[in-house]
Copies of this chain bind each other. A is one copy, B any other.
């Protein structure tokens, strides 16, 4: 078994060659990876079966087992995803700004790869391929540390990608799947400042918090979402109910799902009459403030921790508020700066909500569920940043790049 330092060093060594590949060379390698995944479908499924049977024996829950399990169709979908990334425009080499200085110096700021990107993720083996090809397309080497539950699947996928890259004369350090899936290897990655340019955790809240708090390598924090809908006094209440039900019930486990609804006091009674039957269809459990409990007797009393909970489930916190000011203050205090929505007919309130709420995506009269790289037209998504530095919101290929200034002259000096 290669240790993680050896693998990180291979990535670091591969990065310079990778950074100067043309788009054509990168795309050819990606298409080879797509073909290799389909050619080795049987190997992938055999490796995955080992993971699935071990997980079943250890008593993994059905929903996690489903995320872990690969099928022929899922392998095809992976390969198709790789082809889609190959079809995206190459971000590298874009001239971001450029001008000629008064002294004749030509200055161009051009987009370049970050270098080596570390990704720590959990049980879903498709992330291995997904993350690897996004990094490759943006000219970065990738060090991928998946969960130990998926280790056989991940190593098989890594091996297939490595062979495809070698076939194009590229070093296997372009993509390294960490062989040691122990807790120690995740910890070690957080300290690899000499090898990694950035570290991206993908997974649950516990993982993300641990990496954000513990890493010495610069981190891009992603995916924690305590999202709100605020139903304003002037809202179209049927629209508000639709947006809430969509936000809560369409896919409660994802980070852009709604966890808490704030309802203007003046319309709370009427709103709940409309919204309750729709939420009941999905058996949503309500946890309400005292005023909400009066209007919705079936609501259980919300505890303090409910206001900061990412349930990931058919549970909804609910609070009656005085108006926009209280809603904005509550969201800025309890949200995770992910996605926040107001439903209103009032133009000034719409504008104030978008200005004053501090979040990656702020919606007027639309569902928070749209916060997504594909929905926003980025063509791909490596995650949704909930930090303010480097990238914020859905991250496409551009989030995996940096820039440099190229300056060309004919002997200019500055005394």
List the interface of chain A (C-beta within 8 A of B): 16, 19-20, 99, 101, 105, 107, 109, 114-115, 197-198, 213, 216, 218, 220, 236, 239, 242-243, 246, 250, 332, 350, 354-356, 358-367, 369-371, 375-377, 387-390, 392-394, 402-415
Contacts and interface: CB of A to CB of B under 8 A. Distances in A.
Contact of A99 (B114, B377, B392): B377
A213 B387 CA distance: 20
For the complex, would chain A's binding face be called helix, strand, loop or mixed by DSSP majority?
Answer: mixed
Contacts of A198: 388-389
A407 B363 contact: yes
B350 A408 contact: yes
Given A414-B367, A415-B246, A405 B388 contact: no
Nearest to A405: B361
A409 to B, nearest CB: 3
B404 A393 contact: yes
A355 B20 contact: yes
Nearest to A403: B392
B364 A16 contact: no
A371 B197 CA distance: 23
A364 B114 contact: no
B406 A354 contact: yes
A216 B213 contact: yes
B363 A20 contact: no
A352 to B, nearest CB: 9
B392 A404 contact: yes
Contacts of A415: 246, 250
Contact of A366 (B242, B243, B250, B409): B409
A369 B246 CA distance: 56
A19 B242 CA distance: 32
A364 B404 contact: no
A359 B393 CA distance: 27
Closest 8 CB pairs of A and B: A366-B409, A246-B413, A388-B402, A361-B405, A239-B411, A390-B390, A369-B414, A366-B412
A146 to B, nearest CB: 23
A23 to B, nearest CB: 14
Nearest to A359: B404
A275 B356 CA distance: 59
Nearest to A371: B405
5 contacts: A101-B370, A242-B413, A250-B415, A364-B409, A389-B402
A121 to B, nearest CB: 20
A78 to B, nearest CB: 23
Contact of A389 (B390, B406, B407): B390
Nearest to A102: B377
A254 to B, nearest CB: 11
A366 B101 CA distance: 12
Best-surrounded residue of A19, A350, A361 (most CB of chain B within 10 A): A361
Contact of A362 (B16, B356, B377, B405): B405
A94 to B, nearest CB: 14
Nearest to A93: B355
Given A404-B361, A407-B361, A370 B115 contact: no
A143 to B, nearest CB: 16
